[in-house]
Amino acid sequence: MTGPGPATGPEQIRNEWLAHSLSTDPADRQAAEAAITELYRLIGADPPRFVWVDSPGAAVDSVPPGQTLHLRAADLPWAFRDWPPASRIASEVAALRWRMDRRIGQPWSLAWWQRNAVPLTSAVEVDPREGTLFPDVLNAHIRDSLRFTVRDQIFAPLRAVLRDAVGESLGIGWYGQHDAYWVAYYDAYRRLRRAHFSPADERQLDVWAALARSCGWWWPYDGLCVIAERPAAVHAEAMPATAHGERRLHNPRGMAVQYVDGWGVHMWNGTRVPSWVVHDPTVERIAAETNVEVRRCAIERIGWDAYIDQAGLSLVATAADPGNPGGDLRLYDMPVEVWGAPARVLLTVNGSAERDGTRRRYGLSVPASIDDPVSAAGWSYGLTGAQYAQLARRT
């Protein structure tokens, strides 16, 4: 097992765990099997036989017949030793996190506030008259940042793809490198010496850290554990207008996360989309799509100028954008067959530049009753047109 590393700052710890969560290196099978063996020992079970698969999508073919995959708490046997391995591990990790949360403490005493007050740094956006608490720094730099990037942008879309394909047939599992978002939070507290966990909990946290560093998703069964390799490719970009390293999945040419066997997920600017959005978007497919966000992504994939021409949108009015000097606002009627009801779209240019210096053109759906582009822009911000016109600059 790999113990805690040298003391460093929150940003460095976040970047270290982010790198593990995005890793496409082959799994360290020896380290992963040793860590899972230790978890089996912890629940009083013999070491399992290990089966490695190329992706989570391939894991379903390796589930042994006759396994009890999942039991509700009310249906579990009275004796802990009779629970399925996954239920026992779930109970242990829930108890571990509860104990570590207790060690971190709660902000209800003067001593807690004195212990957690830290100097301001330029990386923390707060009112300089108030100061910053250490948990606020950790929450912003590590917990919230990695939750968004790892849990919401990577783990959640992949799990949705898996559930769409096989339902709950794999039972309870864990996520290896994609458990990094919660492992990093506790690891930071101990490495920065802001919490002291018991030796037993330190050892168990080391096990989960080893799994986050060494493998992909895994599922424990009686006598057998199925482990997936890490992905072969991950396409992630910096999330615009964020301060703590948040990233989103995006690939305009293929899957945003792809495993060696071809399983994975397509993402467009952080939104999960069907493969046709990336590979073959058409006006007809956009018209047939019921999900508004998927339609928006498909239009962006074609390009708004091309889509306006191909779909035959009619221009209602144009105006200079008072919130974005040099930009313009264009209001179009959307075909009823695309939006399902009378609607208009405001075509505008992002106030913030992308990483390559360009400004992305995008469309906002607005009520069909709005005839003025400036009023439509104000409506999108919850303002009147006159109020929007007074903005110094939007983002």
Q: Break the chain into its structural domains and give their ranges.
A: 10-233, 313-389
pLDDT tens for the chain, residues 1 to 395: 445 544 478 889 999 999 999 999 999 999 999 999 999 999 999 999 999 999 999 998 888 776 555 555 556 666 667 778 988 999 999 999 999 998 887 543 444 444 444 443 333 333 333 445 667 778 888 989 999 999 999 999 999 999 998 887 788 899 999 999 999 999 998 998 888 899 999 999 999 999 999 999 999 999 999 999 999 999 999 988 778 889 999 999 999 999 999 999 999 999 999 999 999 999 989 888 888 889 889 999 998 889 988 888 889 999 988 877 778 899 998 777 666 678 888 988 765 555 554 556 778 888 899 999 999 989 988 898 888 888 755 54
How does 204-239 read in b/e, with b if 16+ C-beta sit within 10 Å?
bbbbbbbbbbbbbbbbbbeebbbbbbbbbebbbeeb
Helices 85-104 and 29-42: crossing angle in degrees, nearest 10, is 90
> Any long-range contacts for 124-127 (C-beta under 8 Å, 24+ apart)?
125/243
Rounded CA separation 41/44 (Å): 5
Judged by DSSP in three states, 94 sits in helix
The pTM score is 0.80
Answer whether 219's CB lies under 8 Å from 40's CB: no
Amino acid residing at 333: D
What the block records as the tokens of 135 is: 């948990």
Contact call for residues 287 and 308 (beta carbons, < 8 A): no
